[in-house]
Amino acid sequence: MTTKVPYLHYTPQSIPTPELPPEQEKKRKHYLNHDYGILSWLLTVDHKRIGLMYLVTASVFFLFGGLAVMLVRLNLIVPTGAILELDQYNKAFTAHGTIMIFLFLIPVIPGVLGNFLVPLMVGAKDMAFPKLNLLSYYVWISGALFFVWQLTVGGLDTGWTLYPPYSSKYSHTNVLYAGLGIFITGFASILTAMNIIATVHKMRCPGMTWSRLPLFIWAMYATSLIQLLSTPVLAVTVILLATEKLTGIGIFDPALDGDPILFQHMFWFYSHPAVYIMILPGMGVISEVITCFSRKNIFGYKAVAWSSVGIAVVGFLVWGHHMFLAGQGYYLGMLFSILTMLVAVPSAIKVFNWAGTMYKGSISFEAPMLYTIGFLVLFTIGGTTGLYLGVMGSDIHLHDTYFVIAHFHFTMVGGMLMAWMAGLHFWWPKMTGKMYSDFWSRLAAVVTIVGFIMTFMPQFVLGFNGMPRRYPNYAPEFQFLNILSSAGASIQGIGYVMPLFYLTASLFTGRKAGSNPWQATGLEWQTPSPPPMHNFDATPVVYFPPYEYALPNGLGMLADAGITPGSNPALEPAFAPAAGQHEVSHGS
Amino acid sequence: MAANAHAVEEHAGPAGPVAHHFNNMRQQQATVRFGMWLFLVTEVLFFGGAFCAYTCYRIWFPREFEAGSAALNVGIASVNTILLITSSLTCTMAVRSAYKAHQAGIKFWLLTTIVLAVTFLGLKAREYHLDYEEGLMPTAKMTVDLQPQADGSYLPQERSVFAMNVEKALKHNHYDTTGVNLGRVQLFFLFYYVITGLHVLHMIIGVGLLIWQLILAQMGFFKYAERHVYIEVMSLYWHFVDMVWMFALPLLYLAGPHTLHQAVEQFTSAVGLATGGSH
Ligand code: HEM
Ligand SMILES: [Cu+2]
């Protein structure tokens, strides 16, 4: 029998997929059950499966990075160092920093959510280059495993910044091979970036204009631009460093009148933009979640969209703020200082717009929203403390202290990681078709945020009072705050492990999510969960901007008043907005 | 449309096979082309980083870079330049044949391009070998050398092996080394090896692509004219590799003085054509 399914609950960008009756839903083929067997995963070119592969591997690396830092925090409980030799300490914090940055924060959102969502959100059947996508996964995983292997057999003692001469003359560790690992993972991130940009440009479905793109897409687009333009510079820097290691003399070696500062310039030319590679995707997630759980259109779509591009552009011009004290020159420092003030502007625009979005919204506090609120508060603190560091005068006092550590953990953990958790919880029902425990997920969010504040707030104080970073020992008067910080780290750890359990449990016992559990507007919610092989049963057509949360309320009110399709012919037009109606066969 | 959603991997239309995730050939072609341009953007930054570092040091140490350049084999470099530019032309001819789905033309021009490229690589290998024989490899090794003193006697002194080698090579090229810090010339040579090495690597990958396309052509892959786009993007890559050389050549080889006579002599002796005056 054919029934007419009008627009009902929320504003679709296209035609909403009606829920099938349970017995049919059970038999429905989707991307998870349409093929079984290990090869159907390892050789898949389906962007959704590749996304899940990234999810599993990136989570494992997150665990590794976390274990490494637990060693560091344990050691810092005692002023003279509790458990580690000096050399081991260097290796532990380097392992933590490199794994977290290169193997987790940089790839996680582009790899998991970017892969999974970009084609869905633009209404495409797959990424522009599906095989390249699979290749980039393998390149990434082999680089990453190689890197981790090097960390376990010899370790790396340079810090994630790899500055020569720590990394050349004075290193006893496998800088060469570790550098190769980083080089390879960088190649993968370039390939992913190409794929995403090409998908956004060329694969949008009918009606998906640039001004109707979800802000997550804008953010991913800007991120990919940065990856495309900055990663090759890191690659060539690593090659130059490797040449130095191989020949025993080198380009950055002052003995030859080479210049170690040049390494720092080239490194930060990549790595400052890289901090935006890490945060921008998170910002994209926040825009999606905050509109949904405030039931409001985004405040200032264009401002949020273009500020992503602004960050991408200005982010390339501020690398020198990491080198105020490295001897880069006084006037250069002033210039970088001013530009650093400038780069905070687009981030601030976003924060204000998110606050504006929440203003007078109907806010509900499910787990994704809790993480998002955590993001807003913590990232704002992280960003504003960045300004203290960007002012040359105060940076002289704060450089290379725990203040810097606290700053970037507020942005990268308080910002990016919260956003990642928000995104994971937000789209988990879409990926798996299952809902997780509401209670446990909210609890995990709260535990994580509380643990986070306890870990990193003390570090601002420590740094301000002069505790340097990367030292295994410290003055006895810092002990209390260090213990507080270590205790907070354990609480945080619990907060990160909890999702492992309730998310896994949801796969087996979770209730069905349905196509749109959050009543959200994006295209990805218009297709069943988990989505079918090629994402949509019919090519979607888009008629609306992405966050029309205002419209459905009108229809919802009609429904509340008992006015439903067919109840009153005079009101019928209300149920037939631009997208028209959709014929659906119910095999009743 | 719904039938489309579960289509098999490829479905053949009038314009040839379209991959499952594209709506039509036009979209597919545009995407492939766009993807290659994006890749080239990345490549520009990759080589750009190396050239940028090169520029810094060249500004700081102009004399040493000039001297290093003077020690290079500009003869082989000149011939290689001609080979490479010609290969870009033949590569474009292959694209032209592909537009017309002219199978024999595609194969012929691809093959010509491969031959030119392999010749380039062979000559380059010869050049590296000669550099190696002359001892122009950066090294931390030291040795003891007899240094002439003001009174005409000789005193043993510790010197860098590289500095001695480069001094010899420059003397052979009649280059005046007064005021040059010979040890520091290694900086130039580090850049020389890194930049040309990366370029060679790109060429090897390019030859791999060319061979692959030759095989595809043999299998009849290009009988659909629409598939010219694959040869087209490969040629974009090839031209890019060419462009890199066009920057590397003046920066590395022409930074120091060379004469035409010297170039001819260098080339002929390198490939064993020289009758007399080799070293
Ligand atoms: C909002 C504007 C921001 C400003 C003005 C800013 C400014 C700065 C400055 C001046 C430093 C150098 C401190 C020093 O070494 O003395 C710094 C360090 C750092 N920032 Fe930010 N930052 C901002 C946002 C971010 C974001 C969003 C991230 C990451 C997601 C981030 C990650 C980092 C990292 C990782 C370091 C330390 C690198 C290291 O030395 O290991 N920052 N920031
Ligand atoms: Cu920075």
User: Does A249 sit within 8 Å of B57, measured CB to CB?
Assistant: no
Residue A584 has a pLDDT of 35
Q: Tell me the C-alpha distance between A63 and A496, whole Å.
A: 9
Q: Tell me the C-alpha distance between A217 and A224, whole Å.
A: 10
Residue type at position A314: V
Check if A350 has its Cβ closer than 6 Å to any atom of ligand 1. no
Cα A306-A310-A313 angle, rounded to 5 deg: 140
Asked whether the CA dihedral A213, A216, A219, A220 is positive or negative, the reply is: negative
Residue A571 has a pLDDT of 55
Residues 6+ apart with CB under 8 A from A474: A76, A79, A467, A482
DSSP B228-267: HHHHHHHHHHHHHHHHHHHHHIIIIISSS---HHHHHHHH
Residues 6+ apart with CB under 8 A from A349: A300, A303, A304, A307, A310
**What six digits make up the tokens of B157?**
């002194």
Q: Are B146 and B47 in contact (CB under 8 A)?
A: no
In terms of pLDDT, which residue wins out, B173 or B13?
A: B173
Q: How far is CA A64 from the centre of its chain?
A: 18
- How many helices and strands in chain A, by DSSP H and E? 19, 2
- Least CB–CB distance from B27: residue in A193, A202, A251: A202
Name the DSSP letter for residue A204. P
Residue A575 has a pLDDT of 52
Residue type at position A122: V
Q: Are A84 and A148 in contact (CB under 8 A)?
A: no
Among chain B residues, CA nearest to A132: B35
- Collect all residues of chain A within an 8 Å Cβ-Cβ radius of residue B5: 125, 532-534, 536-538
Distance, CA A186 to ligand 1 centroid (Å)?
21
Distance, CA A306 to ligand 2 centroid (Å)?
20
Quote the longest CA-to-CA distance of chain A.
Answer: 88
Query: Beta strand A2-5 with A582-585: parallel, antiparallel or unpaired?
Result: antiparallel
Residue A559 has a pLDDT of 57
User: Does B46 sit within 8 Å of A235, measured CB to CB?
Assistant: yes
Residue type at position A28: R
pLDDT at B277 over 50: no
The dihedrals phi and psi of B158, each to the nearest 5 degrees, come to: -80, 130
Q: Atom 14 of ligand 1 has which residue's CA nearest to it?
A: A399
Residue A579 has a pLDDT of 39
- Collect all residues of chain B within an 8 Å Cβ-Cβ radius of residue A194: 35, 38-39, 42
Distance, CA A408 to ligand 1 centroid (Å)?
6
A575: helix, coil or strand?
Answer: helix
Q: Which of A18, A14, A11 is nearest to A585 (CA)?
A: A18
Domain boundaries, chain A: 44-509
Residue B145 has a pLDDT of 83
Residue A560 has a pLDDT of 57
Q: Are A375 and A414 in contact (CB under 8 A)?
A: yes
Per-residue b/e over A303-334, b at no fewer than 16 CB within 10 Å? bbbebbbbbbebbbbbbbbbbbebebeeeebe
Q: Which of B226, B39, B1, B19 is nearest to A205 (CA)?
A: B1
In this complex, is the C-beta atom of A242 within 8 Å of any C-beta atom belonging to chain B? no
Residue A580: CB atoms within 10 Å: 11
A165: helix, coil or strand?
Answer: coil
The one-digit pLDDT tens for each residue of chain A (588 residues) are: 344 433 333 344 334 456 777 788 888 889 998 888 888 899 999 999 999 999 999 999 999 999 999 999 999 999 999 899 999 999 999 999 999 999 999 999 999 999 999 999 999 999 999 999 999 999 999 999 999 999 999 889 999 999 988 888 888 888 889 999 999 999 999 999 999 999 999 999 888 999 999 999 999 999 999 999 999 999 999 999 988 888 877 788 887 788 899 999 999 999 999 999 999 999 999 999 999 999 889 999 999 999 999 999 999 999 999 999 998 888 999 999 999 999 999 999 999 999 999 999 989 999 999 999 999 999 999 999 999 999 999 999 999 999 999 999 999 999 999 999 999 999 999 999 999 999 999 999 999 999 999 999 999 999 999 999 999 999 999 999 999 999 999 999 999 999 999 999 999 999 888 888 888 888 898 888 899 988 988 888 887 788 888 764 445 555 556 666 566 665 555 554 433 333 333 333
- Least CB–CB distance from A233: residue in B38, B45, B181: B45
pLDDT at B268 over 80: yes
Query: What is the dotted CATH code of the domain comprising B25-270?
Result: 1.20.120.80
Q: Tell me the C-alpha distance between B45 and B56, whole Å.
A: 16
Q: How far is CA A471 from CA A79, A85, A119, A287, A457, in A?
A: 10, 12, 46, 38, 19
The residues that bridge with B147 in the sheet, in sequence order, are B155
pLDDT at B278 over 50: no
Residues with CB under 5 A from ligand 2 (ion): A 272
Q: Are A11 and A574 in contact (CB under 8 A)?
A: no
User: Does A130 sit within 8 Å of B60, measured CB to CB?
Assistant: no
In terms of pLDDT, which residue wins out, A349 or B7?
A: A349
Q: Which of A116-130, B133-147, B199-213 has the lowest mean pLDDT?
A: B133-147
In this complex, is the C-beta atom of A247 within 8 Å of any C-beta atom belonging to chain B? yes
Å between A313 CA and nearest CA of chain B: 15
Check if A333 has its Cβ closer than 6 Å to any atom of ligand 1. no
Stretch 156-195 of chain A: residues touching chain B, C-beta under 8 Å: 190, 193-195
Q: Tell me the C-alpha distance between B257 and B63, whole Å.
A: 12
Selected residue of B9, B10, B21, B64 to mutate for chain A interface (largest A Cβ count, 10 A): B21
Q: Which of A143, A146, A123 is nearest to A192 (CA)?
A: A143
- pLDDT band with cut points at 50, 70 and 90 for residue B266: confident
A468: helix, coil or strand?
Answer: strand
How far apart are the two ends of chain A, measured CA to CA in Å? Answer: 7
* Mean of pLDDT over chain B: 88
Å between B102 CA and nearest CA of chain A: 27
Q: Tell me the C-alpha distance between B110 and B207, whole Å.
A: 10
- Least CB–CB distance from A538: residue in B2, B23, B198: B2
Q: Are A490 and A513 in contact (CB under 8 A)?
A: no
Reported ipTM: the value is: 0.86
Domain boundaries, chain B: 25-270
Query: Beta strand B10-13 with A582-585: parallel, antiparallel or unpaired?
Result: unpaired
Q: Any idea which architecture A44-509 has in CATH?
A: Up-down Bundle (1.20)
Helix axes A479-509, A418-432, angle to 10 degrees: 10
- Least CB–CB distance from A232: residue in B20, B30, B46: B46
In this complex, is the C-beta atom of B12 within 8 Å of any C-beta atom belonging to chain A? no
Check if A278 has its Cβ closer than 6 Å to any atom of ligand 1. yes
